[in-house]
Amino acid sequence: MKRHSICRLTALLLLALVAASGCKKEMNATEVPPDVSKNASRKTHFDTIPLSTSPSARGFYEEKTTMLFGNAQTDGTIYPYRQFIAGRWTVKGIWYTYRSIFFTTLPIASGDPNILKSAKLVLFSDPHPVGNGDQVHANSGTSNAFYIRRVTSSLNITTINQFNWFNQPTVTTVNQVLVPHTNQPFQDLQIDLTAMMKQVIAEGPTIGALGLMAQLQNETNSYNIRIFCSTDQPDASRKPYLVLEYYDM
């Protein structure tokens, strides 16, 4: 009788462990974006999910974008705006440059940069790019490569409308990322910012919002443009967002 009782107890414990393990897998699967979770291990976790205001592992945060637009004579900056653009194009025969900034209040670790496994800025091509470029394709031109650079100005996400073409935030080219030219009319991107964000972590606590600027590699007078959805895009599933993946130390 005693042996049967032990066996029965062991079996019940095994069933309980299997059930608990199954529940844990199901919960974790809903906590990370499916497009960036394929290579995640049990020893990592994600710190954002693709929503503009979302509870993360470290609390609530906001993500916003603004577009700077102008030339030496004119500021045409629009905020808020439904598109996130890096480009050079004409309006009524006059050349204008587009630069865009992504802002996030996501809390960022500080100290040891090796705690960060990866960092990605996710951008979605605007499927309806009416109003800019050739108004048909999100990507146009023969030299539309663009940079992602870190903003070094002090940023407050509630006052980002302070920036315009003649009052742009400062940026650094250290660990900038060059996104190559594309001939594809539409192209969603996951831009690797791991080196850049490791530097942010090493520099210490982030004060205010983090800013990332997109601008063409070549801003001379030539028709080149990349048009993405902004955080003011009506389709919530196509808003840009930052993903930070940390090691559990």
Same domain, 17 and 117: no
pTM for the complete prediction? 0.77
Domain count, the chain: 2
Same domain, 238 and 129: yes
Q: Which element (helix H / strand E) includes 19?
A: helix 2-29
Same domain, 14 and 75: no
Backbone angles phi, psi at 174, to 5 degrees: -65, 125
Same domain, 77 and 172: yes
Q: How many CB atoms lie within 10 A of CB 82?
A: 18
Q: Can you give the pLDDT at residue 215?
A: 98
Take residue 54 and report the two structure tokens written for it.
Answer: 């979302």
Distance in angstroms (rounded) separating the CA atoms of residues 161 and 65: 10
Same domain, 228 and 117: yes
> Between the CA of residue 183 and those of 73, 135, 137, 198, 227, what are the distances in Å?
32, 16, 10, 31, 13
Q: Can you give the pLDDT at residue 61?
A: 86
Q: Can you give the pLDDT at residue 229?
A: 98
Q: Can you give the pLDDT at residue 139?
A: 98
Same domain, 144 and 26: no
Helix, strand and coil content of the chain, in percent to the nearest 5, comes to 20, 35, 40
- Tens-digit pLDDT string for the chain (249 aa): 444 443 333 333 333 433 433 333 332 222 333 343 333 332 333 444 333 344 444 457 899 999 999 999 999 998 999 999 999 999 999 999 999 999 999 989 999 999 999 999 999 999 999 999 999 999 999 999 999 999 999 998 888 889 999 999 999 999 999 999 999 999 999 999 999 999 999 998 888 899 999 999 999 999 999 999 999 999 999 999 999 999 976
Same domain, 5 and 39: no
Q: Can you give the pLDDT at residue 56?
A: 43
Take residue 138 and report the two structure tokens written for it.
Answer: 């999100």
Same domain, 96 and 157: yes
Q: Which domain holds residue 19?
A: 1-30
Q: Can you give the pLDDT at residue 33?
A: 37
Which is nearest to 212 in space by CA: 132, 127, 110, 99? Answer: 99
Same domain, 129 and 18: no
Take residue 6 and report the two structure tokens written for it.
Answer: 């032990």
Same domain, 78 and 5: no
Looking up tokens 């974008």 gives 65
Same domain, 125 and 2: no
Backbone angles phi, psi at 211, to 5 degrees: -120, 140
The Cα angle at residue 225 between residues 222 and 244, in degrees rounded to 5: 140
DSSP code for 230: -
Same domain, 125 and 3: no
